[in-house]
Structure 1
């Protein structure tokens, strides 16, 4: 009798991302896979065949530069075709794309490079100097000739490669350089947690195929669909909720450099877009824009199942809940049935979920509980946190449930509503921010004795960070303007702009709870009271 093998029970045994790309290129050949819709240039169409050919050219060039199976390569790009080509080419080599937030400061980028062990990088002209300053030891940096569609002469010199030139060769004769293994890592995305530094979420080929197949079912993606992508490709949403499901179904994606409420409808109408993945910020922004009398949208996916602007336009909305670690959505609405207002949806059939109280008991209907998700690491859940066994271990409870850090409300009819986060986290315009990241930078200043960073509600961004500072001297003796300037300089050099405090409050002491911990709930209440 054969020895039981975990991989035998993997639905993607013998398959990987390269298999998916090459299979679809054979099936759909000249059909557009990708339409690039920059703001300042005409649209550019890539057929399935051309996209896979270019990915092969890039893979051959990267291989010639020494990139091998298992190597980690930093992909530091805004939305553009080169991002997706890089991701596909690295997958073909068995290498790993470390995709990073383009708003990262030098200190953050340096951490990503050191933590991942990236040997080289791919970026664009506007981001080159920051990346070069962060990664002095990189073997080479490949630079595109444009910034999200705006042409610019790339830098040149030792250790700098032209990305465009890397596309001009020919794919290697043996396109599939590594054996197909769904357990092999294909990407790393850094996500903020409650620790002071983001953790690298390791995503496998099996995770990517799972996202492609499962999320396409959640949204109801069809071969004749065109999906709009404007959310950043370095986040799980754009890649796993949009690009991969479209690829699995043989659909077309339209890629914008970023979200633009003034361009949203023009691009959607020009390319007859039928599907979209939106976040609350987008819904609010589009509410102030004139609606077209005619459109082609069938479905929008997002964080809630009922959106007034979608109802007005006759667009079906699918609510869903997911995070980088869950790959797809453990909670989702119906793509082909009515959904109830103001809920995320209900438990997805591909996952197990549990909602428990503080004692680990099932939450009563209508009460707030902690959300746990059960799946298979490397398939329906992330494989691990990169080089961090302790964090990986602590992410699961004793029974193997993944601890999401979010709180939800279950109802008797099976629907689930999002409540809040039980971790010390905030959501700034769709970006996760750990207050501890900001506090680490502020505590490095000699003039700061103690600090607490909390979220303040914002009409467009949901939340923004606000810092309460206890200086080393009594606040009445401090040159507050000088200290504000020092804080602004420190956070600007060490943190992405969305992590930088919007307001600074100086205090002589903090409200306390057990063990003299700062009572952040009281600080948040103080902010809410001041806004009244």
Structure 2
């Protein structure tokens, strides 16, 4: 099992970075209009104290929650660090979420303070009302603001700072909810620090590195893999307000970024809408989820480095599998990250042999190297573990060298006439077609075969889209009969959550509605 001999809190990791790197750059922020602001570690720490003073005056005491419905902004980062310093905890929600979703988060976490953009205050205040929280102090901000002038209470004095404990809650992050009710993942002070330590080691991060952050800050990827690792190392971060496919590489060049983190979907968007640029300093880029071989080759050429796949969840804290810089394989999630514990097990909890598909399980100490549990859900938390191993629900084989290869979720296996069919295999086959940008496959009930695969495909070039018959022939040449989609639909784009996960339940509904 994974242990950490000398754990530290996230608050102390930030303090250490400020002490050692006070005059060095911490944050660069580019507003939507293109204006750029910079802060050293010392400068930003002063802003953190101002924010902490205001939050404390509004009731954000140790153990209290602070709700954030903000896009990428200096305010988000300052509130996150200020809450950590106060021993409070953040609840980051999708800033574009609808009132019912936001109300659910507010009702379940009972925050002392809520922050939203003034431009979306109507939706946010409706959510506050729906949650029955007329007492909630709400701060409306301009997400492009770089002065943080609204935080005008006396700064938190060093003598007033509490000492957060390792197991103190630092955040509750709700799962995306593509299926079922979102679960609130409890993240501790030690968790954030451990994420920074592991991810800095895996990336070989140094103080002169600069992370480019384009993914949303309310999601674990940007927090764990980019910000926490930069703070652990004393490196800097270039924060963009949002992801832009055509603007990603120009931003990386403009801000001299050396490291980045993406998903497969944004990479495909970059390939479809972007292009190579000069003066890049990128030496490293993480990505999650598979891309096709030709896509990998092109992106490696454009980026000037070979991106490395990883695997992790909000619950696992760091990415517990990371590919290595010396010889990354585009189809592999990599090997077990230093400091982590991963096994591949069968349904009875026994380790499977190399080449055999099993469930990826993660070992560790809850609240230190693994999440602390699910918010107000002890039964669900208990059911997510078996003999001390966290059950991810993801399937993979591993080879003799310890490389792991994603084979889908437990729910990503169809039973076609009694035969197991991996959705991932079918999707990968379709995505390998040179005219296909990406594909998603779902199951559709069938009276004869129980269920059958149905595919939705996005063309790489909509003006030269492949025909359905061409894709049928492609699959016939490469897949056994049970694995071939019974229907293929060309669509403009796949429905996604704000962090790029495919909303497959919408495709399942569409497939069922089109059933003959």
TM > 0.5: yes
Matched, 1:265 2:264: no
Q: Which runs of 5+ in 1 are unaligned?
A: 1-7, 152-161, 428-434, 436-451, 462-495, 507-522
Partner of 1:57: 50
Question: Structure 1 residues 456, 256: CA separation in 2 closer, same or farther (over 3 Å shift)?
Answer: farther
Q: How does 1:34-433 map to 2 (within 5 A)?
A: 34-136=27-129, 137=133, 138-144=135-141, 146=142, 148-149=143-144, 164-166=149-151, 168-174=152-158, 177-192=161-176, 196-288=180-272, 289-303=274-288, 307-313=296-302, 314-335=304-325, 337-397=326-386, 399-423=387-411
Count of aligned pairs between the two proteins: 431
Question: Structure 1 residues 372, 298: CA separation in 2 closer, same or farther (over 3 Å shift)?
Answer: same
Cα offset for 1:274?
A: 0.6
* Cα distance in 2 for residues equivalent to 1:424 and 1:127: 36
* Cα distance in 2 for residues equivalent to 1:332 and 1:505: 35
Contact 2:178 2:504 in 1 (8 A): no
Cα offset for 1:497?
A: 12
Question: Structure 1 residues 409, 357: CA separation in 2 closer, same or farther (over 3 Å shift)?
Answer: same
Question: Structure 1 residues 230, 505: CA separation in 2 closer, same or farther (over 3 Å shift)?
Answer: closer
Contact 1:37 1:256 in 2 (8 A): yes
* Cα distance in 1 for residues equivalent to 2:366 and 2:289: 27
Which string of whole-angstrom CA distances, capped at 9 and with x for unpartnered residues, describes residues 314-359 of structure 1?
3032221000000101111113x21234111012232221212334
* Cα distance in 1 for residues equivalent to 2:374 and 2:234: 32
Secondary structure at the aligned position of 1:287 is classed as helix
Secondary structure at the aligned position of 2:246 is classed as helix
* Cα distance in 2 for residues equivalent to 1:274 and 1:354: 32
Counterpart of 2:10 (choices 17, 32, 36) is 17
Partner of 1:28: 21
Contact 1:24 1:247 in 2 (8 A): yes
Cα offset for 1:200?
A: 0.7
* Cα distance in 1 for residues equivalent to 2:4 and 2:313: 25
Question: Structure 1 residues 40, 333: CA separation in 2 closer, same or farther (over 3 Å shift)?
Answer: same
* Cα distance in 1 for residues equivalent to 2:504 and 2:401: 42
Cα offset for 1:302?
A: 1.2
Cα offset for 1:361?
A: 3.4
Contact 2:256 2:280 in 1 (8 A): yes
Secondary structure at the aligned position of 1:203 is classed as strand
* Cα distance in 2 for residues equivalent to 1:83 and 1:235: 12
Contact 2:59 2:113 in 1 (8 A): no
Question: Structure 1 residues 364, 173: CA separation in 2 closer, same or farther (over 3 Å shift)?
Answer: closer
Q: Which runs of 5+ in 2 are unaligned?
A: 414-422, 425-441, 443-450, 461-499
* Cα distance in 2 for residues equivalent to 1:142 and 1:377: 33
Q: TM-score, normalised by structure 2?
A: 0.77
Contact 1:408 1:417 in 2 (8 A): yes
* Cα distance in 2 for residues equivalent to 1:377 and 1:459: 40
Cα offset for 1:260?
A: 0.2
* Cα distance in 2 for residues equivalent to 1:460 and 1:106: 34
Cα offset for 1:120?
A: 2.3
Q: TM-score, normalised by structure 1?
A: 0.74
Which string of whole-angstrom CA distances, capped at 9 and with x for unpartnered residues, describes residues 76-102 of structure 1?
101111001000111111111011112
Contact 2:57 2:153 in 1 (8 A): no
* Cα distance in 1 for residues equivalent to 2:220 and 2:84: 16
Contact 2:95 2:116 in 1 (8 A): no
Structure 1, 100-109 or 297-306: larger mean CA deviation: 297-306
